[in-house]
């Protein structure tokens, strides 16, 4: 599994960009917001260039 994790200091968020272990080629951006009781947000990307689109989304959104 390929995974990137970063923390955004201003909002205390943990952001992961991961290839789904149950579905190769499917990538997701998963965010844990520790300032809001550990709320979890997820966006899933399928199809061609899914990894690139997940990384672009994470960079724009977070």
Q: Report pTM.
A: 0.78
Which residue did the predictor score with more confidence, 10 or 24? 24
Task: Name 32's Cβ contacts closer than 8 Å, sequence gap at least 6.
Answer: 13, 14, 38, 39, 40
In a domain, 61, yes or no: no
Task: Name 59's Cβ contacts closer than 8 Å, sequence gap at least 6.
Answer: none
- Over range 24-51, report the average pLDDT: 93
In a domain, 53, yes or no: no
What mean pLDDT value characterizes the chain?
86
Residue 1: predicted pLDDT: 47
- Over range 2-7, report the average pLDDT: 57
**Residue 4 is encoded by which pair of tokens?**
């990137």
In a domain, 20, yes or no: yes
Number of domains the chain is built from: 1
Residue 62: predicted pLDDT: 82
Domain region containing 33: 3-45
In a domain, 15, yes or no: yes
């Amino acid at each position: 599994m390929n995974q990137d994790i970063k923390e955004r200091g201003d909002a205390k968020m943990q952001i992961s960009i991961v290839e789904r272990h149950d579905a190769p080629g499917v990538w997701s951006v998963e965010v844990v917001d520790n300032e809001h009781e550990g709320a979890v947000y997820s966006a899933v990307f399928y199809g061609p260039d899914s990894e690139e689109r997940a990384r672009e989304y994470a960079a724009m959104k977070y």
